[in-house]
Amino acid sequence: MINLEETFKKYEDQFVKSKVEPRDFAAFELLNKLCPCKGDIVAAAGHDQIWLGTDIHELELVATEEDIEELVRLGVLYEKSTESLYMFV
């Protein structure tokens, strides 16, 4: 099991460095592959952010460091205060 906060921080220098387009769709596909969504993949939206409905505890059990690196490259970030994933829009 990985520590999401530490692993996202480890790869923060890779933020939005993926050549895959569209990045948001690729991130949604990867998250759904790792932790199939039981509801909407976008759980909430703010002015310039969306929060994702991925089960963080399930993700910690199944994700590898490479998965988290790819998510960061696709623009996914971890928010400690809400224990959730988010993206800028």
8 Å CB contact between 14 and 23: no
pTM of the predicted model, to two decimals? 0.94
Percent of the chain residues topping a pLDDT of 90? 92
Mean pLDDT of 10-34: 95
Which two structure tokens, joined as six digits, stand for 70?
A: 């790819």
State which residues form the domain around 35.
4-88
The structural domain count of the chain equals 1
pLDDT of 59-88, one tens digit each?
999 999 999 999 999 999 999 999 999 999
Of residues 82, 59, 78, the one with CA closest to residue 12: 78
> Which burial class, exposed, middle or buried, applies to 52 when counting CB atoms under 10 A from its CB (0-12, 13-18, 19+)?
buried
